[in-house]
Amino acid sequence: MLPGSMGTKGIILLVALVVAGWLLSGFYRVEPDEQGVVLRFGKFVQLTQPGLNYHLPYPIETVLTPKVTRVNRLDIGMRLTDDPRRGSTVVRDVPEESLMLTGDENIVDVDFAVFWVINNAEHFLFNVQNPEGTIKAVAESAMREVIGRTNIQPILTGARQTIETGVQDLMQRTLDSYGVGVRVTQVQLQKVDPPAQVIDSFRDVQAARADAERAQNEAQTYANRVLPEARGEASRIENSAQAYRERTVVEARGQADRFLKIFEQYVNAKDVTRQRMYFETMERVLGPMDKILLDSGTAARDGGVVPFLPLGEIGRRPQVPGTPAQGNTNQGAVR
């Protein structure tokens, strides 16, 4: 075989190997947390899923593999740096990002973190030149807007969840309008304090406000205890008066009915009724008394009666005024 033909075959074989290697270079792997973005001469062509994929070799097509499931964190108002001397993480404050004006014209120092993931790799890579810078600017703007329409007291106490939710919703709407291709998963407030120059005075105000709230709560507790008792006592008095009124009315009606019935009997038989009423009255008056009855004839025949001191009555209990006499307290009478 001629040497020239051997050289030609070698060149052809070498070219074939180079072409085969070039064609094989189009194979690529997309990891489970990634998404493949295929570009043809720099223009987006398609998205590929995790696994082994193929694209036309460079420079015809290239592939980018952004991580679409990784949660990214962005800190605003602070920076976390490693301190090799202490072997720990140091938080450095960035006041130009954290100082914000509240709705009642106070200044508050807000440090917060934003967590986000890529939900559209094409938009994330090509719609915005600096996606992370855009996310940071949108986060700071959204926080300033929410803080700017909220008073300082809720910001420092019970409105943290409301603020986080409001900032997250506002950020998501703004980023969607820009077509950034990310989803905000969480906004987390790290520190919310007054500026360091006035924090001592503000703590004094907070302590005074806490004392006022405590006194108000104690007064409310006292009112909650006293008012039901007073209402119960008033209800009891009212019920007693109502019962007394009903009892008095019933008794009065009974007495009136009794009088009318006696009057009817009196009209029908005046003498008998008068005598019966006299006997009943005398029985009621003289019944409880100790007494001796003498007719006038016996007293005249036997020489009258002799008065004596009631020595046996001296040790008896004093009589209560208005009650019937129990026995003779002045004098007795004997034959």
Domain ranges across the chain: 24-66, 72-194, 214-285, 288-334
* Distance (Å, whole) CA 302 – CA 305: 8
In the prediction, which pLDDT does 329 show?
43
In the prediction, which pLDDT does 311 show?
61
Give the CA distances from residue 156 to residues 36, 69, 150, 162, in Å, rounded to whole numbers and listed in that order: 45, 34, 11, 12
In the prediction, which pLDDT does 299 show?
53
* Distance (Å, whole) CA 290 – CA 279: 18
* Distance (Å, whole) CA 130 – CA 74: 14
Query: Which runs of E-coded beta strand occur in 9-153?
Result: 27-30, 36-40, 43-48, 51-54, 61-64, 72-76, 78-83, 88-93, 99-101, 107-118
In which element (H, E) is residue 190 found? Answer: strand 182-193
- DSSP 8-state assignment for residue 67: B
3-state helix, strand, coil in the chain (%, to 5): 50, 20, 25
- pLDDT tens across the length of the chain (335 residues): 445 555 787 787 777 777 777 777 667 777 777 777 888 877 777 777 777 777 777 787 778 777 888 899 999 988 877 666 766 777 788 888 888 888 888 888 899 999 999 988 888 888 888 889 999 999 999 999 999 998 888 888 778 889 999 999 999 999 999 999 999 999 999 888 887 777 777 777 778 878 888 899 999 999 898 989 899 999 999 999 999 999 999 999 998 988 888 888 778 887 887 888 888 888 888 777 776 666 666 555 555 566 656 665 665 555 555 555 444 444 444 33
In the prediction, which pLDDT does 292 show?
66
Residues forming beta bridges with residue 63, ordered by sequence position: 38
The answer for 41, left when phi > 0, alpha when psi is -120 to 50, beta otherwise, is left
* Distance (Å, whole) CA 106 – CA 98: 13
In the prediction, which pLDDT does 258 show?
85
**Is the distance from CB of 114 to CB of 143 less than 8 angstroms?**
no
**Is the distance from CB of 112 to CB of 77 less than 8 angstroms?**
yes
Which CATH topology does 72-194 take? Tetrahydropterin Synthase; Chain A (3.30.479)
* Distance (Å, whole) CA 123 – CA 178: 9
Regarding pTM above 0.75, the answer is no
